[in-house]
Amino acid sequence: MEQECIFCKIARHEIPSQIVYEDEDVVAFKDLNPVAPVHILIIPKKHISGVMAVTDENSDILGKIFLAAKTLASDTGIDKTGFRVVANHGKEAGQSVFHLHFHLLGGRALSWPPG
């Protein structure tokens, strides 16, 4: 499954994307269908299928993802106005790619609850 995962292919640079952040463990890139002026997807390079696949052994990636989100929020200026970090898990929550990922959203007023 990892070989066919579109986010794994992006992390391996097999599929072009607008990468805005990368380190040893994390890649972040612009969403193809943004719902806000800033809409960046932040993923672990290692395939983890979703929130429920986070374990004691791989949970350190969550801190690295949030540090990347902090850096990206500062880089884009949304740290001053506010932003949202969202992870969907499962089809009913809207997860369409089954690789753990977080949406960094900002650049406009965000309503709640999200529709």
Question: Would you give per-residue pLDDT tens digits along the chain (115 residues)?
Answer: 566 899 999 999 999 999 999 999 999 999 999 999 999 999 999 999 999 999 999 999 999 999 999 999 999 999 999 999 999 999 999 899 999 999 999 999 998 876 5
Residue 112 tokens read as 């709640």
pLDDT for 113 equals: 76
Whether the link from the prior residue into 113 is cis, omega within 30° of 0, is yes
Residue 34 CB coordination number (10 Å): 13
Strands 83-86 and 102-106: antiparallel
Q: What is the pLDDT of residue 87?
A: 96
Residue of 39, 47, 99, 101 marked catalytic: 101
Strands 19-22 and 102-106: unpaired
- Whole-prediction pTM value? 0.94
Q: What domains does the chain contain, in order, with CATH numbers?
A: 6-106 (3.30.428.10)
Return the pLDDT at 9. 96
pLDDT at residue 114, as a whole number: 66
Residue 13 falls in the annotated catalytic set: no
